[in-house]
Amino acid sequence: MAKSFIVHESDVEAIPLPGGGSFWLLEDSENSEGLFGANRLTLAAGADGTRPHHHTKSTEIFYVLGGTMDFLVDGARTAVSEGGLVVVPPGAVHAFGATAEGPAEFLAVLTPGIVRFEYFRQLGRIARGEADWDSMNELHDRFDVHFDGGPQWR
């Protein structure tokens, strides 16, 4: 049985993104013994969060904390504003980004959890121009992130 735990903001690793965005790495499934992983993400106005992809093992849950997000889920594009919840089961192709109207912030939870913090760190390096997208090629299976299509989805 997993133990209870608390993550304080002072213990959270923040990964800077262009335009003032950030990943906050909250839980990498280690404390939760694989039950879930959790991240908070702020995206600048109009910024993409990811390319279309799917997970084979995890359900991904998004809760919009502020602003409005564009979501692509199984081919349907939908704007989801503050207070909205999006649930993406394994196998469902999805992508997301902030709308052009302003920055957006959300909480993402993946269950069951897979240790993914290094994946998010590498995404931050790519977003900041410190690494090439091709550096992800060997990481997809390890982190259960499988891309479906090109970089543009909206």
Q: What is the pLDDT of residues 46-96, one digit of tens each?
A: 998 888 999 999 999 999 999 999 999 998 999 999 999 999 999 999 999
How far apart (Å, rounded) are the C-alpha atoms in residues 45 and 64?
14
pLDDT level of residue 119 (50, 70, 90 thresholds): confident
Residue 151: predicted pLDDT: 59
Structure tokens at 78: 């939908």
Q: What percent of the chain has pLDDT over 90?
A: 64
- 149 and 97 Cβ atoms separated by less than 8 Å: no
- 145 and 53 Cβ atoms separated by less than 8 Å: yes
Give the residue from 47, 52, 68 showing the smallest Cα distance to 128: 47
**3-class secondary structure, 72:** strand
Residue that wins the pLDDT comparison between 84 and 148 = 84
Residue 150: predicted pLDDT: 61
Residue 91: predicted pLDDT: 96
Q: What percent of the chain has pLDDT over 70?
A: 97
**Does an H or E element contain 23, and which?**
strand 22-27
Residue 103: predicted pLDDT: 96
- 128 and 16 Cβ atoms separated by less than 8 Å: yes
